[in-house]
């Protein structure tokens, strides 16, 4: 009998909700999942994007606390779920598996630290371009005329949340990017004039 359960999800479906008990872990096989948190005032904020190869819910699993975020499906996804009982059996049979959890936790913490440093040191434009390139790297394609294109799975206000700025700042920046002929936005579709130029402006490969 398989120890894991694979399931397909569509955009808008929820893997787990904020406040739910952490009774297992979720391994993303394909697709994109967003981690959201609702504050005391009822405002929902998109905090993080999780894509193929990412494991979510493991910190709650390890601490035996309730989930501090909700995990929402953003694009069609295949996700593997492993229950607490099954994981504890694996840990008993192979104690070194615990080291893998610790390593994963450490790497995740380091990535969060890198994101924080980026938000503190990069200009808003660079942070925004970096985010668009991340989406393009995961979901992008070439249009019929060869233009680099990506269909964003989130709203503009959520783009602002992901880089820590106000929505009106994103609107002004998009107007400037279109004026400079760097990117063109139509609803959630983004066309990138020259990916190499954008990479040069960000100053790092994605």
Q: What per-residue confidence (pLDDT) applies to 174? A: 94
Res. 161: pLDDT tops 80: yes
Reduced to 3 states (helix: H, G, I; strand: E, B; else coil), residue 25 is strand
| pLDDT tier at 204, thresholds 50, 70, 90 | very low
Residues 70-113 pLDDT 10s: 999 999 999 999 998 888 888 788 777 767 766 766 677 666 66
Distance CA 143, CA 141 (A): 6
> 47 near 88, Cβ under 8 Å?
no
Reduced to 3 states (helix: H, G, I; strand: E, B; else coil), residue 203 is coil
30: nearest Cα among 54, 5, 46:
54
Res. 13: pLDDT tops 80: yes
- Helix runs in 27-68, H state only: 58-63
When pLDDT is averaged across residues 169-175 and rounded to a whole number, the result is 94
Distance CA 95, CA 24 (A): 18
| pLDDT tier at 30, thresholds 50, 70, 90 | very high
Q: How far apart are the first and last CA of the chain?
A: 39
Integer Rg of the chain from CA:
19
Distance CA 58, CA 22 (A): 8
Residues 105-156 pLDDT 10s: 667 766 666 665 655 557 888 889 989 998 998 899 998 888 999 999 999 9
Distance CA 193, CA 178 (A): 10
Q: In percent, how much of the chain has pLDDT > 70?
A: 85
Q: What per-residue confidence (pLDDT) applies to 170? A: 93
User: What's the predicted TM-score (pTM) here?
Assistant: 0.78
Domains recognised in the chain with CATH numbers: 5-119 (2.60.120.10), 123-202 (1.10.10.10)
When pLDDT is averaged across residues 21-46 and rounded to a whole number, the result is 90
State the average pLDDT for the chain: 86
Query: Which helix (H) or strand (E) element contains residue 110?
Result: helix 96-121
> 163 near 119, Cβ under 8 Å?
yes
Distance CA 107, CA 111 (A): 6
């Amino acid at each position: 009998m398989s120890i894991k359960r694979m399931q397909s999800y569509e955009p808008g479906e929820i893997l787990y909700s904020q406040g739910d008990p952490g009774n297992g872990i979720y391994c993303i096989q394909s697709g994109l999942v967003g981690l959201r948190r609702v504050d005391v005032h009822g405002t929902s904020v998109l905090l993080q994007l999780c894509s193929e190869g990412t494991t979510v819910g493991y910190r709650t699993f390890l601490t035996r606390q309730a989930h501090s975020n909700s995990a929402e499906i953003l694009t069609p996804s295949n996700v593997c779920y492993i229950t607490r009982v099954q994981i504890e059996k694996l840990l008993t049979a192979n104690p070194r598996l615990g080291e893998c959890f610790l390593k994963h936790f450490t790497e995740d913490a380091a990535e969060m630290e890198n994101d924080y440093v980026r938000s503190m040191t990069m200009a808003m434009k660079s942070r925004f371009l970096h985010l668009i390139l991340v989406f393009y790297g995961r979901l992008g394609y070439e249009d019929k005329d060869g233009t680099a294109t990506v269909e964003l799975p989130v709203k503009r206000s959520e783009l602002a949340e992901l880089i820590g700025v106000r929505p009106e700042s994103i609107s002004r920046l998009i107007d400037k990017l279109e004026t400079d002929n760097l990117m063109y936005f139509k609803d959630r579709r983004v066309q990138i004039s020259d990916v190499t130029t954008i990479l040069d402006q960000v100053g790092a490969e994605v």
